[in-house]
Amino acid sequence: MERIRKALEQANRDRAQGHADLGSGGGIAANLSSAIRYTQTKVIDVPERVLTENRIIAAVPFHESKDAYRMLRTRVLQTMQENQWTSLAITGPNPGCGKSLTAINLAISLAMEVTHTVLLVDLDMRKPSIHEYLGYQPEVGLSDYLLHDVPLSQALINPGIERLVVLPGREPVRNSSEMLNSPKMVALVNELKHRYPDRLTIFDLPPILDADDALVFVPYIDSMLMVAEAGVTSRDDLQKALSVLKSAPMIGTVLNKAPSRRSRYGYGYGYGYGYGYGWYYGKKRRAERAKARAAARTKA
């Protein structure tokens, strides 16, 4: 019994120290009782000025649009918990829709929940950008682990936000879809998803209509979130993207850069969010149906 007790105590100490080689903090008990200590993961200081300039508003105290991501976090978290999902991939139809920024802000919001840790992985291997939003140039990235057997622990960073670890990219990879489907990548994803039951893994994927990377990666994730840009993403492109990913467990669609009505709390412009194709184009489709009914009455 004494040996079992000591083994359990050592396991708890290991978890509390972070197991930084895979970017996790401790278990739920460790998170609630003490701050996470990263033993190998590099901790970087991201100035608030950089966060504000790069629109990482989930990490900016008292930002007027912060609650939009909190609401998105709550709805995503509820869906994931109901289905016992631990991984979420984020993509969009085309470049510039804001998928990477949404992934970063959502990951930060999720990490602020004390019941779990979050690992954010930059899988946009054609154009990795998460490190740029953090104002950081990594010396080692995911491609170095996959192509050159560099230890993963050398690539991981903590951006000064407790319970959040980032696995960044470093440089573009030409054969990205092949790398995402390689045995080494598949083994890594399984390890990241299943090693800690209280960890959520967020994957930032390339735009779905630009490459087949996101489609290749679908079998390895639990759920997916589509990001569309208000006033820019066309109806046809969103339809095509959703059609390509029809086999994916789609949680919903986020409308990025959407103007929000000023509420009684004084919020101005924020980030819209919603679930499903009908949410994004519901207003337009209702207007079209109303126009069609009016035309039918005129003919009658």
- 232-258 pLDDT, tens digit each: 999 999 999 999 998 889 998 998 877
Q: What is the mean pLDDT of residues 57-74?
A: 86
Question: Could you tell me which residues come within 8 angstroms of residue 108 by beta carbon, excluding any fewer than 6 positions away?
Answer: 56, 58, 59, 69, 161, 164
User: Higher model confidence: residue 193 or residue 92?
Assistant: 92
Lowest mean pLDDT among 156-165, 207-216, 217-226, 255-264: 255-264
Q: Is the pLDDT of residue 125 over 60?
A: yes
Confidence class of residue 135 from pLDDT cuts 50, 70 and 90?
very high
Residues 203 and 127: their CA atoms lie apart, in Å, by 14
Strand locations in 198-294, DSSP E?
199-204, 223-229, 250-256
Model pLDDT, residue 297: 58
Rounded percentage of the chain residues whose pLDDT exceeds 70? 74
Q: What is the mean pLDDT of residues 82-107?
A: 94
Model pLDDT, residue 27: 38
Confidence class of residue 115 from pLDDT cuts 50, 70 and 90?
confident
Model pLDDT, residue 223: 94
Strands 117-122 and 199-204: parallel
Domains annotated for the chain, with CATH where assigned, are 2-299 (3.40.50.300)
Confidence class of residue 63 from pLDDT cuts 50, 70 and 90?
confident
Q: What is the mean pLDDT of residues 126-131?
A: 93
Residues 35-55: pLDDT tens digits? 677 777 899 889 999 999 999
CB 184 within 8 A of CB 146: yes
**Is 291 buried (19+), middle (13-18) or exposed (0-12) by CB count in 10 A?**
exposed
pTM value is 0.78
Q: Is the pLDDT of residue 279 over 50?
A: no
